[in-house]
Chains A and B, each alone.
Chain A
Amino acid sequence: MILEKVKEILVEELDVEEESITLDSKIKEDLGADSLDLFELISRIEDELDVNIDEDDYGKLITVGNLVDYLTEKNK
């Protein structure tokens, strides 16, 4: 399940509680990621979910929901 995996990675990379992560959580503003964190996150997601996230799409990934939808699309 993509959401479960994303939550697991967010918890480990950003040191946040799983309960605090909702689909509406903004990755930077709510979960406290800075641009270096974001990059580490994306790299890890690419490795663990075996997906390639386009540079041009980074800007679209504002909330956890955006990220999950994006990965779901890529998985099809």
Chain B
Amino acid sequence: MIYTEICKLLNIKYPIFQGGMAQISDAKLAAAVSEAGGLGVIASGNSPPALVKSEIHKIRELTDKPFGVNVMLLSPHVEEVSQLFVEEKVPVIITGAGNPGKYMRIWKEAGIKVVPVVPSVAFAKHFEKLGADAIICEGTEAGGHVGEITTMCITPQVVDAVKIPVVAAGGIGDGRGIAAAFCLGAKGVQVGTRFILAKECRVHQNYKDKVIKANDTATVVTGRKTGHPVRVLKNRLANQFRELEKNNASVEEMEELGRGKLYQAAVLGDVVYGSVMSGQIAGLLSKEQSCKEIIVEMFEEAEKIMKNLAGGNNE
């Protein structure tokens, strides 16, 4: 049984966070992950506070286990949503796509556990100083908004830089990834893309099918010029971004191209002209399973690997 500081900190059975994915991880998916013993995370994305509030109420009807809410710091509603978390007394806040520094004080004062996603060591140290309870270091293998450094490289460096527990994210899709993350010094993992294929995930079937069909070279990062690049599965939209980048388009033009495109893919099922955010590990994934099956399978495999490593078993 893999039980770490992360399990103790958040009162969860397995040290696994389900990655907050806008338009994809709602109360239903998060509740299923939490019920299965991980930390389910509701993604607030660009949603207005009323919608986030209703998801928080929904998850509380579905589970009494701990859950997290992800705040996407580029959202136009970030101020109100950050305040909402305090009012709703959510147990855990995961932050992404930016610097949550100015909100940490009110969250910590409200007794909420705060776990920022960081793209670099400097951010990790900074948030530890501000009182973060743990850090998620996310490698560029991840889907959605990504940094430049790989999980393999950023994890041990962040582990060395901070004393709080580190959760590795990006490129983890099975027990081997979990074992690797632990070898790098992490005390937990965050998994996104694999949970897209969870039965409890409401994303459009076309989106799931595209993830299943993906191979190792199927993703590309677009929008680097905007300062907030995203990793997506290659399609016509990704090509359009590439054209804009080739022709030195402005940041505004690129942002305009991306507007509403995640909804178009995730909800409407347009995986040709919509934005199909996904991690590089999509190439490994082919099964639709329940959250419970995913988590149990991943950790059983990880335990077996880690036992074999310890025993020096070379079979």
Q: Which residues of A contact B (CB under 8 A)?
A: 34-36, 39-40, 43-44, 55-56
Which B86-108 residues have C-beta < 8 A from chain A? 99, 101-102
Q: Which residue of A lies closest to B103 (CB)?
A: A55
Chain B residues, Cβ within 8 Å of A43: 122, 125-126
Chain B residues, Cβ within 8 Å of A39: 99, 120, 122-123, 126
CB distance from A26 to the nearest CB of B (A): 15
Chain B residues, Cβ within 8 Å of A36: 119-120, 147-148
Contacts A43-B125, A43-B126 given: A34-B227 contact, CB under 8 Å? yes
Q: Which residues of B contact A (CB under 8 A)?
A: 99, 101-102, 119-120, 122-123, 125-126, 147-148, 227
CB distance from B233 to the nearest CB of A (A): 25
What's the Cα separation between A26 and B122 when bound, in Å? 22
Cβ contacts A to B, 21 pairs, < 8 Å: A34-B227, A35-B227, A36-B119, A36-B120, A36-B147, A36-B148, A39-B99, A39-B120, A39-B122, A39-B123, A39-B126, A40-B120, A40-B122, A43-B122, A43-B125, A43-B126, A44-B122, A55-B99, A55-B101, A55-B102, A56-B102
Chain A residues, Cβ within 8 Å of B122: 39-40, 43-44
What's the Cα separation between A55 and B148 when bound, in Å? 23
Chain A residues, Cβ within 8 Å of B227: 34-35
CB distance from A59 to the nearest CB of B (A): 10
What's the Cα separation between A43 and B101 when bound, in Å? 13
Q: Which residue of B lies closest to A56 (CB)?
A: B102
What's the Cα separation between A74 and B6 when bound, in Å? 38
CB distance from A56 to the nearest CB of B (A): 6
What's the Cα separation between A36 and B123 when bound, in Å? 9
Chain B residues, Cβ within 8 Å of A35: 227
CB distance from B71 to the nearest CB of A (A): 15
Q: Which residue of A lies closest to B148 (CB)?
A: A36
